[in-house]
Structure 1
């Protein structure tokens, strides 16, 4: 069951997160299901494909100030067997097709994270 924070984040996605979600939803990339604003342990990730153990994060300007926290988060996720790929808001907003192609390549095993 989703908690209040997850619901809040789903209802208040950034423009970049919404753009990417419209590409990832309904098994549109790699034929796999992505979930958005999903809790993994203590963390809420932007997008995750559980079957492929892939986390996709969209980082806004605030992430520049939280580099250490992001590194701890990524380390924990990797310790749980997830691959983590990060894109900036600018990448999603201005290079959406390239972002989607990169995610598809990671899912197909043609690109390392």
Structure 2
């Protein structure tokens, strides 16, 4: 079964990968999701592991065109930093703003992360 969202086209394999990823969130992603799901953050609706083209966004708020990415330690590797910059540029070219948070920040400074997301959502609505 091919699922097509009206917002972003993605190949069927990307949708399948996203579905698997939704079932296997990392601990920092799961922690953040508890606050983002169900409109718990100022009523904004977020989707988790949402496909956009060849990419899968950790969290996406369609109303604000906002992606929230949780970066584990692998994102500190130079090749991954370059990949993330290109990915962010590609998403921004589609009008999607990207917020990136290190996983450790989700663990240690969640209130600040939520405040930053709330502010970004407010600017996008």
TM-score class, shorter:
over 0.9
1:3-35 per-residue CA deviation (whole Å, 9 max, x = no partner) reads 321121111111000000000000111211100
Name the counterpart of 1:76.
90
Partner Cα distance (2:119, 2:64) in 1: 12
- Once the two structures are superposed, the pairs formed by residues 22-101 of structure 1 within 5 Å of their partners are 22-65=34-77, 66-101=80-115
Partner Cα distance (1:104, 1:89) in 2: 18
Unpaired segments ≥5 residues, structure 2: 4-11
Partner Cα distance (1:15, 1:76) in 2: 27
Partner Cα distance (1:109, 1:4) in 2: 32
Partner Cα distance (1:51, 1:105) in 2: 14
Per the normalisation by structure 1, the TM-score is 0.92
Root-mean-square deviation (Å):
1.4
Regions of 4+ moved over 6 Å: none
Is the partner of 2:123 in helix, strand or coil?
coil
Per the normalisation by structure 2, the TM-score is 0.84
Aligned length: 110
Partner Cα distance (1:7, 1:23) in 2: 20
Query: Which of 16, 20, 23 in structure 1 is aligned with 2:28?
Result: 16
1:43-62 per-residue CA deviation (whole Å, 9 max, x = no partner) reads 00100001110000000011
Partner Cα distance (1:4, 1:42) in 2: 12
